[in-house]
Amino acid sequence: MSEQADKNLNPSSATGATGREMIVVDHVGMKFKMTEDRVFSIKEFMMQAAKGKLTFNEFWALRDVSFTVEKGDVMGIIGRNGAGKSTILKIISGIVKPTQGSVTKHGEVVPMLELGSGFDYDLSGRENVFLNGAILGYTKEFLYAKYDEILAFSELGDFINMPIRNYSSGMLMRLAFSIATVVEPEILIVDEILSVGDEAFQRKSHARMMELMQGGTTVLFVSHNLDQIREMCNKVVWLEGGYVKMAGPSEEVCDAYNI
Amino acid sequence: MVKPIRKYGMIIIACYIFFAAMILLLGGEHYPLIPTAGVFGGILAVLILYLVLLIIGEKKGKKMLSLEFIHALKKYRFLIEQLVSRDFKTKYKRSVLGILWSFLNPLMTMGIQYIVFSRLIGKGAARGTGLEYYAAYLLAGIVLYNGFLDCSNQAMHAITGNASLVTKVYVPKYIYPVSKVLSVSINTVLTMIPLLIVTMINGVRPSLYWLLLPIPLFLVLLFAVGMGLFLSSILVFFRDIEFLWGVFCSLWMYATPIIYGIDMLPDWVQPLEFLNPMYYYITILRDVVIYHTFPEPLFLLAAFLMGVFMMIVGSLVFKDTQDQFILYL
C-alpha cells in the first residue's frame, strides 16, 4: 500500500510532467563533514594537517530523497528530531546546496524558517518592516502598498515608530509574524511555526496561517503536531534517518507514524 | 525591462563621454591627440554596440550572462538600498556628534600627523618636491587610505556578521560585501569635502581638474570590491585572518607615501612602490586635487588593471567557496 502511495510522489515513476509540479526533489543527498575539532584558524589548520588529523567523518543528513509537490498541495513533512526535515527545507529554499541530486522549483519560494530575520535593534519598527521585507524578497511597491495592513495586523499602533530594542519579545514576534504573513506566495515553506503572542493574537495568527494554507498556495509544512498535519495537509512525507520512510496521502502516513 | 537598460546604458555612456572628453582636454600634452581620440571613439563604439546587443537580447528573451547580472541587480536593488541605509542609520546612532565624525576623524588624524611631522617633512620643503602643501598632501593620503581600510574591514565581516541571515534566507551572498563596500564608499565621498576645503586653505585654488575626482575614487572602489569579496570569503574559514589583515594594513600604511614623500625613500626602494596599488590611487588623487596636473596615463592604466585583477581574484574565490559558507557559520 505504501509503495503505491510512494509512486504518486516519486518523480522517476511519473508517466510524464503533468504540468502541475511546483517542487521536484530529485534524489537529493546531503553530506556534512564532521571534524573531530572544528578548524577555524590557519594555525590550527596547519597543526592538524601536520599531525595527520585532518580526516573528516562523513555524516549523510539526507540520502536519496525524492518527492514531488504539486500545485495546491499542502505537504507535511514529519519525522523525529534529526531526521533531516530542516535540512531538506533549507535545500528547497536554496540556502544550502545539496551534495547530490537537485531540486527544481516552478514558482517563487517564500520560506518562513525564522521570524524577524535581519531585524536591527537600533531601527524603528517601521524601518524594520522595510528591511525585513526586503530581505524576504518583497518589492518596494508591495511593501508600501501593504504597510497599513502589516501595521493593523501587528496591533502595534504608535509603537511602530520606536526603536525595536524597546519592544517586548511578544511585540517583536507580532511584528515579525505580521511581516512574514502579508506575503502572497506561490510556494510557502513553514518550519514549525511558533505560537506567538497572547490568546487573541494566537487565534488571529492561526486563522491567518489557515487562510494562507488553504488559499490554493502550495505549502510545505514541517511540524511535530500530528493533529495539525492531519488537519491541514493532503499529502505527507515521513523522513527517518535521512531517508524517505514513507510518502503518500496524509491519513495513511499519519496512521503509520502513530504506530 | 528594456527601458531601464536603455536608461542606465545612456547614463553610463554619458559618463564615459564626459570623462573621455576631460581626459583628452586636460591630458593633451601627454600623448598624441588624434590617435588617442580615435581609441576613445573606438571604445565608445564598442560600448554602444554592446548596449544595443543587450537591448535586443532582452527583447528576445535570450539568456545572456550580463542580462542575468542586470536582472539580479534590479531584483536586489531594493535590498541593497535597505542594507546601505541601515548601515548609515546605525553607524552613528548613539553618538553625540553623529555624522560629523565622518569629517572629524580624518581631520583629527591629519592634524596630529601634521603637527608631528611638519617640522621634519613639510616645512622648508622646496617647490617641486611636491610637499609644499603638506596638510593637503597628508589629508589626501589619509582620506583615501582610511576609506580603503574601512571598506576592507567592513566587507571582511560582511558574511560572518550577517551569519543569521545567510543561514536563514536566500539572498545572493555577494550582496553582503558589495553593499558594505557601497556604504563605506558613500562615506569616503563625504570625506572628500574636508579634503577640498583643507586644500583651499592650504592655498590651492579650485580648478577644472577637480572634475576628475571621481576617477581615483572609482579605481579604489573597484579594487576594494574585489578585496572585500576575497576577504569576506576567507574569513568564514580562517577566523584569524582578521588579525593578520590588521597587521598587514598597518605595514601597508607605512609602506605607502602618505606621511612622507616618495623621494625620502632610498633609491633602491622607490621602484618597489610601483607594486603598491595604494601608491597609484593616492598619487592620482593628489595630482588631481592638489597639483592640477594630469595623472600619468600609465598610472591610470596600471591602477585600473590592478583593480580589475583584484575583482577577478575576489570573485573567483568567493564564487568557488560560497556554497561552503553555511557549513562554517
A38-96 pLDDT tens trace: 566 777 677 766 766 656 677 888 888 898 888 888 888 988 887 788 888 888 888 88
Evaluate whether residue A231 is within a structural domain: yes
Q: CA quadruple B24, B25, B28, B32: dihedral positive or negative?
A: positive
Predicted confidence at residue B161, as pLDDT, reads: 87
Evaluate whether residue A236 is within a structural domain: yes
A110: enclosing H helix or E strand: strand A109-112
Distance from CA of B96 to the nearest CA of A (A): 15
Residues of chain A contacting residue B168, judged by C-beta atoms under 8 Å apart = 95, 111, 113-114, 117
Predicted confidence at residue A14, as pLDDT, reads: 39
pLDDT band at A122 (very low <50, low <70, confident <90, very high): confident
pLDDT at A15 over 50: no
Predicted confidence at residue A10, as pLDDT, reads: 45
Give the whole-angstrom CA distance, residue A244 versus residue A62: 9
Evaluate whether residue A210 is within a structural domain: yes
pLDDT at B127 over 50: no
Q: For the segment B268-287, what is each residue's pLDDT rounded down to a tens digit?
A: 888 888 889 999 999 999 98
Mutate to test the interface with B, among A105, A122, A138, A192 (most CBs of B within 10 A): A122
Residue type, B109: T
pLDDT band at A246 (very low <50, low <70, confident <90, very high): confident
Evaluate whether residue A174 is within a structural domain: no
SS3 A259: coil
Predicted confidence at residue A193, as pLDDT, reads: 60
Asked whether the beta carbons of residue B167 and residue A32 sit closer than 8 angstroms, the reply is: no
Q: Which of B78, B169, B238 has the CB atom closest to A139's CB atom?
A: B78
SS3 A26: strand
User: Quick check: A81 contacting B, CB < 8 Å?
Assistant: no
User: Quick check: A54 contacting B, CB < 8 Å?
Assistant: no
Q: Are A25 and A68 in contact (CB under 8 A)?
A: yes
CATH of the domain at A22: 3.40.50.300
Residues of chain A contacting residue B241, judged by C-beta atoms under 8 Å apart = 42
User: Quick check: A142 contacting B, CB < 8 Å?
Assistant: no
**Domain assignment of residue A46, given as a range:** 2-108+185-258
For B121-145, letters b (16+ CB in 10 Å) and e give bbeebeeeebbbbbbbbbbbbbbbb
A116: closest chain B residue by CA:
B165
Predicted confidence at residue B231, as pLDDT, reads: 95
Residues 145-204 in A contacting B (C-alpha not used; CB under 8 Å): none
Evaluate whether residue A163 is within a structural domain: no
Q: Which residue in B190, B185, B183 sits closest to B104, CA to CA?
A: B190
> In total, how many domains does chain A have?
1
Q: For the segment A37-53, what is each residue's pLDDT rounded down to a tens digit?
A: 556 677 767 776 676 66
What is the signed CA dihedral for A198, A201, A203, A206, rounded to 10 degrees? -110
Evaluate whether residue A114 is within a structural domain: no
Q: Are A9 and A67 in contact (CB under 8 A)?
A: yes
What is the C-alpha R_g of chain B?
A: 21
Give the whole-angstrom CA distance, residue A110 versus residue A123: 24
SS3 A74: strand
Whole-number Cα distances in Å, B55 to A156, B13, B65: 46, 15, 13
Give the whole-angstrom CA distance, residue B307 versus residue B221: 8
User: Quick check: A120 contacting B, CB < 8 Å?
Assistant: yes
- The contact set of B with A (CB < 8 A) is 78-79, 81-83, 86, 89-90, 93-94, 162, 164-171, 237-241, 244, 323, 326-328
Q: Are B202 and B125 in contact (CB under 8 A)?
A: no
Whole-number Cα distances in Å, B251 to B17, B110, B135, B254, B255: 39, 18, 22, 5, 6
Q: Which of A95, A122, A139 has the CB atom closest to B170's CB atom?
A: A95
How does strand A109-112 pair with strand A187-191? Answer: parallel
Mutate to test the interface with B, among A35, A40, A103 (most CBs of B within 10 A): A40
- Ramachandran quadrant class, A191 (left: phi over 0; alpha: psi -120 to 50; beta: rest): beta
Distance from CA of B71 to the nearest CA of A (A): 14
pLDDT at A23 over 80: yes
Evaluate whether residue A199 is within a structural domain: yes
Distance from CA of A106 to the nearest CA of B (A): 16
Residues of chain B contacting residue A95, judged by C-beta atoms under 8 Å apart = 166-170, 326
Give the whole-angstrom CA distance, residue A220 versus residue A236: 9
Q: Which residue in A143, A69, A137, A68 sits closest to A108, CA to CA?
A: A137
Q: For the segment B55-102, what is each residue's pLDDT rounded down to a tens digit?
A: 887 777 776 666 777 777 788 889 999 989 888 888 777 677 777 877
Residues of chain A contacting residue B82, judged by C-beta atoms under 8 Å apart = 130-131, 134-135
Distance from CA of B6 to the nearest CA of A (A): 22
Q: For the segment B94-120, what is each residue's pLDDT rounded down to a tens digit?
A: 677 777 877 888 888 888 888 887 776
Evaluate whether residue A66 is within a structural domain: yes
Predicted confidence at residue B31, as pLDDT, reads: 66
Q: Which residue in A215, A239, A234 sits closest to A78, CA to CA?
A: A239
Sheet holding A109-112, edge to edge: A109-112, A187-191, A218-222, A74-78, A235-240, A243-249
User: Quick check: A135 contacting B, CB < 8 Å?
Assistant: yes
Residues of chain A contacting residue B320, judged by C-beta atoms under 8 Å apart = none
Give the whole-angstrom CA distance, residue A10 versus residue A5: 9
